[in-house]
Structure 1
Amino acid sequence: MYAAWLFLAALGLTLIYGVQKILNMAHGSLYAIGAYAGVWVVGPWVAQGHSMYGSYALLVLAALVAGALVGWLAEWLLLRRFYGQDPIVLLLVTYALFMILEDGIKLVWGVDPYTVSEPYGFLGDFEVGDLSYPNYNFVIVGFAILAGAVLTAFLKYTRTGRLLRAVIHDREVSQTLGINVSRYFAATFMVGSVLAAVGGALTAPTISVAPGMGVELIVPTFAVVVIGGLGSLPGAALGACLVGLVRAMSVHYWPQGELFVIYIVMALVLAFRPKGLFAPVEARKI
């Protein structure tokens, strides 16, 4: 279940890198914005006694709107001005965007934590032996599988997806063939932002939504995409499973090493596969 959450959180990050070759440091802030938007919309809905099933749709809808709006504005106002420059420059730009969004969150929603646990507890629990688990976890698992399957099918079987794969392979040649690369870049960053926001919104009922929650996401999601191979969807899935399994074992047998074991896995993988387990083959340009 932790792996499913990690995969959903890392999906937008690996998509943006795969297409635009940007290590998006602001990904955690987009995740936090989705969580805040979900709580902000669902809280009054639940307080007024409306259908609890409608709260799940509202969580996703709020994340879609917030992620698409913030992603579009960030790409249009900031990122597109730096395309074609050194990757380090883009990394610093997204770090600056991260700082701006973190302060923006505090200006809009304040510094007090928000909670909306009703959707989390409404679905009840299931038991495995003597252990009890909330059924809401299946919502996150199901959405992670659905998001991964839809994105994979889109890239493989649709005309737009095949054009996007052409942009990934060689943006210069794609542009000479008449593909509007700038439009694909904007759409990719927007979709990646939406995926991050949806991950935050679906996580919001399980935690206390507070400033700084986006920072906590950066380390495990970057570990996932680095282990799997930057830009690889199958790699992100496998990386999430590895990190999720190792973390769960650490929580049970070695709680104080919960975060440290993630670095151990990443170091071991990079020692034998420096570009990750599923790193795409890069064509050598002459």
Structure 2
Amino acid sequence: MLDMALPLIMDALANAALIFFVAVGLTLVFSVQRILNVAHGSFYSIGAYIAASMGLWLISAGLNPWLSFPALLLSAALVAMVLGPLVERTLIRWTYGRHEAIQILVTFGLFLILEDLQRLVFGVRSIYQDTPMALLGVTEIGGIFYLNYQLLLIVLALAVLFGMRFLIKHTRLGRLLVAVVADREVSLAMGINTDRAFVLAFTLGVFLAALGGALATPTTGVAPGLGAETMVLAFAVAAIGGLGQIEGAAVASIIVAGAKVLAVYYAPAFDTVAPFLVMLAVLLVRPNGLFGTATTRKI
């Protein structure tokens, strides 16, 4: 029984780790700025493309292949530093306080633009760069071999989860973000630079999405359409866990990944719809998600 359950659990946790990076960035942006950023998946795919391209360049240049690991982090940081402040200050900031339909339409338009730009820059062919995964090798657990890279993904996801909790609970930036979330007008009156807080929150969200894409590259590669597929899963996770809930994003990532893996093993025909069937079942019972609560809205 354990021999059957262990591969399912490990596959589910590894998939959940990649989904979590995107979902936690999405929920962070929503909790601070109250925007459902449809273009969030594009940051994931851009991070994947840059990480794959950087890794291939390192190998072709004959450099130490272990440099491919810091390259994953560097690619996510580059995406965040360039696109985070640029998008927030020129486009996202214009949508604050506007109707949700306008916000979704604007970010969806940005998503279409970014997807076309990726095709223009990187082409339409798939890119695969598995050097980090090959370097780490495999580990035998209970007579079954697992990729050490997948185990690393699980550890990194846990590090991000606890890091986000530490940021919010025990740092000045976290307290500022909590204050802005609670009441932006009062925060302004107290002298908090809310515009700066919004830029930092959005840039951090972009970094997490791009990091997820970069880390996924060695296992899945990158191809056109990756951003849209990931974005749909991230929205499912956000809906199940509760919008704006970091712990909810972690639990929901495991639920969604578990449903997807179970479908792959036992009902391949339901592979693509299994996560959304779970989302439907949760929302029928708890419309605000597992960790979400009904809140009053200021008009």
The verdict on a shared fold, with TM-score over 0.5 as the criterion, is yes
Instruction: Find out whether 1:48 has 2:50 as its counterpart.
Output: no
Instruction: Return 5+ residue gaps in structure 2 as ranges.
Output: 1-13
2:199 alignment counterpart: 186
Matched, 1:204 2:217: yes
Question: Residue 97 of structure 2 corresponds to which residue in structure 1?
Answer: 84
TM-score by structure 2 length?
0.91
Alignment check: 8 A CA contact 2:68 2:131 kept: no
Q: 1:66 maps to which residue? A: 79
Equivalent-residue separation in structure 1 for 2:185 and 2:269 (angstroms):
48
Residue 285 of structure 1: how far off its partner (Å) = 5.3
Q: Which of residues 249, 266, 276 is equivalent to 2:262?
A: 249
Q: Give the share of equivalent positions with the same residue, in percent.
A: 42
Deviation at 1:114, TM superposition (A): 1.5
Counterpart secondary structure, 2:139: strand
Q: What do the CA deviations read for 1:223-265 (whole angstroms, capped 9, x no partner)? A: 1110000000010011011112222222111111112221121
Structure 1 distance, partners of 2:172, 2:141, is: 45
1:93 equivalent in structure 2: 106
SS at match of 1:126: strand
**Secondary structure of the equivalent of 1:151?**
helix
| Structure 1, gaps ≥5 residues long | none
The superposition leaves residues 8-61 of structure 1 with CA deviations (integer Å, 9 ceiling, x where unpaired) of 121111100111111111011100110011112111112233222221011111
Describe how 1:102-251 pairs up with structure 2 within 5 A: 102-129=115-142, 131-251=144-264
| Partner AA of 2:281 in structure 1 | L
How far apart in 2 are the matches of 1:9 and 1:84?
Answer: 24
**Cα-to-partner distance string for 1:61-90 (whole Å, 9 max, x where unaligned):** 111112221121111111112211112111
1:19-34 matches, within 5 Å, as: 19-34=32-47
**Residues in 2 aligned to 1:225 and 1:27: alpha-carbon distance in whole angstroms:** 12
Secondary structure of the residue aligned to 1:76 is helix
CA distance in 2, matches of 1:285, 1:215: 32
Q: Distance in 1 between matches of 2:91 and 2:85?
A: 10
In structure 2, distance between residues paired with 1:284 and 1:6: 29
Shift in Å at residue 131 of structure 1? 3.7
Give the drift of 1:280. 4.5
Amino acid at match of 2:109: A
Aligned residues: 286
The 8 Å contact of residues 33 and 67 in structure 1, kept in 2 or not, is answered as: no
CA distance in 2, matches of 1:36, 1:241: 25
Deviates more, 1:171-180 or 1:94-103: 171-180
Query: Residue 235 of structure 1 contacts residue 277 of structure 1 at CA under 8 Å; is this kept in 2?
Result: yes
State the match for 2:11 in structure 1: none
Cα deviations across residues 119-155 of structure 1 (Å, max 9, x unaligned)? 2211111234454321111221121111111111010
Q: 1:262 aligns with which of 253, 263, 275?
A: 275
Provide the C-alpha distance between the structure 2 equivalents of 1:153 and 1:160, rounded to a whole number of angstroms.
Answer: 11
Match in the other structure for 2:5: none
C-alpha displacement of 1:112: 2.0
Shift in Å at residue 102 of structure 1?
A: 0.5
Given that 1:12 and 1:196 are in contact with CA atoms closer than 8 Å, whether structure 2 keeps it comes out as yes
Q: What amino acid maps onto 2:106 in structure 1?
A: V
8 Å Cα contact 1:32-1:197 kept in structure 2: yes
CA RMSD of aligned residues (A): 1.6
CA distance in 2, matches of 1:237, 1:279: 13
